[in-house]
Structure 1
Amino acid sequence: MLKACAHCGRGFRPRHARQTRCPEHELRGRAHRSPTTQAQDAEYRRMRAEVLADEPFCWVPGCGAPSTTVDHLIPVAAGGTHQRSNLRGCCEHHNLARGSRPLDPRGVGQITGSGRGTRCDGGLAARETAGDAACHAPARRG
């Protein structure tokens, strides 16, 4: 089935249902981003690698899982930056559970009731009673 390119109007065979531009006008990868944005992305990738090398384990007390993601102390959505002082190593579970919520004043990640099927409160209560596996286990649906 041929589809009209949204840019030039020529017919093309789309690779997937949501493709709206012909291969000539399709924006590929990050090539369409401004030089400033590309430089910021490169700086973040460099900083991310540094954080993961410096902090090999999750920041949540007692978690002990390997840091596979970088957590922003002040989320980017709340005006945080990619500067080293705003980043720390985190396991994927705790980073997703915290989302874009800022830290509470006590420094605990406020990751209770994340709405993502977890029952994690920063790992503190779960590990006190049932060990680390309980923190990373999916919540029971009831």
Structure 2
Amino acid sequence: MLAGEGVNAFEGHPSASKCCGSGSWEAERLAKAFTRAVKVKDSVQSPRSTLSILSQPSPRVPVTPKEGWLIHDSQVLRFRPTRWERLVQLLEITTGELIPGQEIPLLKSRREVSRAEVLKLWGEKRKEGWALSSPQW
């Protein structure tokens, strides 16, 4: 019989009678915790379904700083972390323009902004149709 089928999971276990005494509320509490753990373990998804969930892109913003690039027509935006501390998180946004026949884009502006402003700008640009890009310079 399993723990969830009406039997005290710790009944007959030597440490249960030593520390808690038979029939004490502590032994019952431990038995209930064990039963919950068994139910949770049994309800875990199969490795195949877990793998498919992990392979999907996460909608959450990454915690660690990464460089990111957006492109729209000939305009390019580069987001690069410059200061990443617990209380201060700053990124540099560099704007450039792709020029036909030129190997390197024309750099137009550079500014340093907070992570919150970058997330807002990134979301706005993606809604406007800007696409992810590989590094341009």
Q: Structure 2-normalised TM-score?
A: 0.22
Higher strand share: 2
Higher helix share: 2
Q: Structure 1-normalised TM-score?
A: 0.21
Greater C-alpha Rg: 2
